[in-house]
Amino acid sequence: MFVELLVAGGGGAVIGGIVTKVVEYILSRETRRVDSAQAVTDMTIDVLRAVAAMNNELQTQIAQLRQAIIVLTDAVDEILPHVTGLSEEQRTRLQEANNAAKMSV
């Protein structure tokens, strides 16, 4: 009887151990999913922050370039009438290029 009880108890311990391992696996798999989802979320937030920072920097650079174009085209408008030695074709080409630059801003 003692041997039978020992064998039955050992079998129960084996089954209990298997059930415990299955439960641990399922719970740890769910934890891994949650951890993975959090990691993806964190990376997405980091990427969005980096893109927003680059966007702000580009907007600043665009504003500076626009201002530079305005200053340059105004200077050409002021100076061009005083420039001598240009053919009519060269003068027209310079005026058209200046007007195209103005239209870009």
* 102/74 Cα distance (integer angstroms): 9
User: CA-to-CA distance for 55 and 87, rounded, in angstroms?
Assistant: 44
pTM over 0.75: no
pLDDT of residue 15: 62
For each of the chain's 105 residues, which pLDDT tens digit applies? 544 544 455 555 656 666 676 667 766 766 777 777 788 788 888 888 898 999 999 999 999 999 999 999 999 999 999 999 999 999 999 999 999 999 999
Report d(CA 90, CA 11) in Å as an integer: 101
